[in-house]
Amino acid sequence: MTPDDNRLASRAKLSGPTPVRATADVRELRGMFAALEQLGYDLDRLLASAGLHRTDVEDPDAYLSPSACALVFALAQQERRVRNLALQIALRIPFGTTPLLEYLIVSSDSVEQGLHRLTRYVRLFNPSIHVVVNDKHEPARVVVDSGGDPFLSEFIVALSVLRFMRETDDQLRVAYVSFRHDPDDVSEYASVLRCPIRAAASWNGWAISKAALRLPLRRRDPALRRWLERRAAEMLARLPASTNVGDEVRHVLATLVTAGDIGINVVARRLATTPRTLQRRLARAGTSFDALRDEARKQAAELYLADTTLTITEVAYLLGYSEPTAFHRAFKRWHGTTPQAFRRRGRR
């Protein structure tokens, strides 16, 4: 292991289980947001337009909605401040921004092995991204499906090609890059990625020769890779099969439930939508905002009552109830008993 790898392993061991989210971890987006600022964008204004705040980005335990994050980059693109925004961010994002995924890849023996780990574990970065390696033909294809988001497609393609070029000590040469859309400046992509660019094609991704797949990676480390794979497999097993609007609302409520203000207006703003649209989407999913908020309060109440330093009145206030009697009624509906009796039972 390298010194960096040892530090990564020790941090992961000391921190305990990693929370599993239905979207990219805040730490994984931090590098992308920092790159926007480096490019001259007003990040605070972009975040505010998407219903976010800098403290949301800086909080490692905060949940960030995929739709809100996508809106930040969509708004940045609309400003047309720089051409090929996804490529410019990929050039500026530091290694280790997505530590688990990136170390899994670079500790592989070869480009081919690294790509197979990318296809398996990319969901840990963003569940909406799927990568498939089709090696039945020459050259092989690394197909990127980002759910129809051109920016995300460009970013994943650019970042993965640049990373593999670096990890092969610049020996990797891509056969060509394919985009279903027309990037802002095809010639810049061709110059940076050192390959032809096929725009308005039938798929997103890049092509690589069978010989290039066998290129060794400079940081290959079987011991580190085995340790990381065990951890990644555990996290992958706990990820939901799919993310729906109910999951997103639950995650936002989990981060807001102690703030008191957990109205639908606040949650809708975090999800970059309107309250009416959010209600319609929840109805189609077979639930409602009130039901999900009730569920979030119930779970939080059980946790807070286990903390004996909090009074019942303080718990009610933390959960957004204007008076303790309303909290008592809700709690009796959830558990058939009072908060005081629930707490005494927990002590026993």
Give the percent of the chain with pLDDT over 70.
86
Give the residue-averaged pLDDT of 274-290: 88
User: Is the model more confident about 119 or about 125?
Assistant: 119
Q: Would the pLDDT of 290 be above 60?
A: yes
User: Is the model more confident about 211 or about 71?
Assistant: 211
Contact 143, 131 (CB under 8 A): yes
**Phi and psi, residue 272, nearest 5°:** 55, 45
Contact 163, 102 (CB under 8 A): yes
Q: How far apart are CA 242 and CA 23, in angstroms?
A: 10
Instruction: State how beta strands 176-178 and 197-198 pair.
Output: parallel
User: Is the model more confident about 155 or about 136?
Assistant: 155
Q: What's residue 259's pLDDT?
A: 56
Q: How far apart are CA 139 and CA 50, in angstroms?
A: 41
User: Is the model more confident about 239 or about 326?
Assistant: 326
DSSP state of 110: B
Q: Domains, the chain, ranges and CATH? A: 3-238 (no CATH), 245-347 (1.10.10.60)
Q: What's residue 123's pLDDT?
A: 77
User: Is the model more confident about 345 or about 16?
Assistant: 345
Give the chain's mean pLDDT.
Answer: 83
Is residue 9 very low, low, confident or very high in pLDDT (cuts 50, 70, 90)?
Answer: very low
User: Is the model more confident about 130 or about 24?
Assistant: 130
- Interval 31-89: pLDDT, tens: 888 899 999 999 999 998 888 888 877 776 666 777 778 889 989 999 989 999 999 99
Q: How far apart are CA 328 and CA 312, in angstroms?
A: 9
Contact 173, 152 (CB under 8 A): no
Angle at 139 between CA 138 and CA 143, to 5 degrees: 125
Question: Where is average pLDDT lowest: 56-60, 178-182, 206-210?
Answer: 56-60
Q: What's residue 160's pLDDT?
A: 95
User: Is the model more confident about 147 or about 280?
Assistant: 280
Give the percent of the chain with pLDDT over 90.
38
Reported pTM: 0.67
